[in-house]
Amino acid sequence: MRAAVMTEVRKPWTIKNLPDPKPQAGQVLIRIRASGMCGTDLHVHHGVMPVPLPLVLGHEPVGEIVEVGQGVAGLRAGDRVGVSWAQRGEGRCRFCQEQREGYCPEYQSWIQMGGGNSELMLAWASGCTLVPAGLSDEEAAPIFCAGFTVMSGLRNADPRPGDRVAVLGIGGLGHLAVQYAKALGLEVIAVTGNPEKKEEARRLGAGDVVIASGGLGQALLEAGGADVILGTTNSAAHATQALRGLRPEGRMVNMGLVDGPIQVDPLHFLTNQVRLVGSKQNHRRDLVEALDLAAAGKVKPRLEVYPLERINEVRDRLEAGKVRYRAVIKH
């Protein structure tokens, strides 16, 4: 199978022919059709998130099951599935008992078996979710990390009807967050430092767009403030500023791996009873909901599609902030 292999930190990935894998008990073998590239791949590439090397990256994989290992119930050859980051726990800890495998200290992910930047990928069957008809492979791929993450973030914010939701950062996650919040009937404000994204943010469903590179919270307050802020930025400074833009009892849900501590103004925090919530992919039902809303046409990932041969160029584009809004490798 052809695969893009990361062999060293900060070095180009190499297209190689690797032996075709065989599924063990509980696993499936997937012929990958589409594989999204995520900001986290950059953290891995730079060694910020260390992984054992060599390794095939890609944690937004979608494809067709071609072989099923022993003891797999439910999934069959021919099924179209995607694979979540957390595929299974060790099955014995408290979190596994509660079916919250994402907290298991020994959970298994693409890091153990390799990801979707490959013609074939092994996955634990328990990590697979069926892709509904009506979604192309390319459209479905980004839902498995970006879409899942923002849907869990929205659910973690506990939005109420009539809430104003500000989306901080309009990129791979943010462009989906705007659409998911809108699909749930919420009023959406896009907050971006890039004036060129204003019209697109409106097309995605934002009722208002705040353009600000500093003093984000003040700018947001002047636009009416927000009950919920969905933070998708990597900038701790921006996240810190944005907190100011929360209305009383507002919730800021942070989904980006920010580059330092988020500062909280104790007086604002206390008098407004605001909450700062960390969020990652949570319940699998959030992923299913995210897939369903996309299949219903209410959310449409904006994509750039490339062949595997151009994967290094794609990663460089992502790093340079040029991707609009998610890059997908199509096999």
CB 133 within 8 A of CB 140: no
Binding mask of the shown chain, residues 27 to 56, with x at each position contacting Zn ion by CB under 5 A: -----------x-x----------------
User: Quick one: tokens of 67?
Assistant: 């072989």
Q: Which is nearer to Zn ion, 57 or 216 (CB)?
A: 57
Q: How far is the CB of 95 from Zn ion (least distance, A)?
A: 5
User: Does the protein bind Zn ion through residue 57 (CB under 5 A)?
Assistant: no
* Options 22-30, 103-111, 131-139, 268-276: segment touching Zn ion (CB under 5 A): 103-111
Q: How far is the CB of 251 from Zn ion (least distance, A)?
A: 22
Q: How far is the CB of 108 from Zn ion (least distance, A)?
A: 10
* Options 23-31, 66-74, 94-102, 204-212: segment touching Zn ion (CB under 5 A): 94-102
Radius of gyration from C-alpha coordinates of the chain:
20
- 């809004």: which residue's tokens? 325
Count Cα neighbours of 249 within 13 Å in the Cβ-side half-sphere.
4
* Options 86-94, 112-120, 193-201, 216-224: segment touching Zn ion (CB under 5 A): 86-94
CA–centroid distance for 141 within its chain:
10
CB 271 within 8 A of CB 152: no
Q: How far is the CB of 91 from Zn ion (least distance, A)?
A: 6
* Options 9-17, 143-151, 168-176, 188-196: segment touching Zn ion (CB under 5 A): 143-151
Q: Which is nearer to Zn ion, 93 or 130 (CB)?
A: 93
**Residue from 96, 143, 178, 206 in contact with Zn ion (CB under 5 A):** 96
User: Does the protein bind Zn ion through residue 256 (CB under 5 A)?
Assistant: no
Cα dist from 232 to 2, 8, 150, 268, whole Å: 33, 28, 9, 22
**One-letter identity of residue 264:** V
Q: How far is the CB of 129 from Zn ion (least distance, A)?
A: 15
Angle of helix 146-156 relative to helix 174-183, nearest 10 degrees?
50
Q: Which residues contact 122 (CB under 8 A, 6 or more apart)?
A: 21, 23, 24, 27, 28, 29, 30, 113, 114
CB atoms within 10 A of CB 92: 10
User: Does the protein bind Zn ion through residue 145 (CB under 5 A)?
Assistant: yes
Q: Which is nearer to Zn ion, 89 or 217 (CB)?
A: 89
User: Does the protein bind Zn ion through residue 104 (CB under 5 A)?
Assistant: yes
User: Does the protein bind Zn ion through residue 141 (CB under 5 A)?
Assistant: no
Q: How far is the CB of 306 from Zn ion (least distance, A)?
A: 17
Q: Which is nearer to Zn ion, 13 or 247 (CB)?
A: 13
Q: ∠ at Cα 239 (301, 267), nearest 5°?
A: 140
Q: How far is the CB of 76 from Zn ion (least distance, A)?
A: 27
Q: How far is the CB of 222 from Zn ion (least distance, A)?
A: 33
CB 105 within 8 A of CB 46: no
Q: Which is nearer to Zn ion, 86 or 242 (CB)?
A: 86
Render 18-58 in DSSP notation, one character per residue.
Answer: -PPP---TTEEEEEEEEEEE-HHHHHHHTTSS---SSEE--
Q: Please tell me the count of residues contacting Zn ion according to CB under 5 A.
A: 8
Residues in contact with Zn ion by the rule CB under 5 A: 38, 40, 89-90, 93, 96, 104, 145
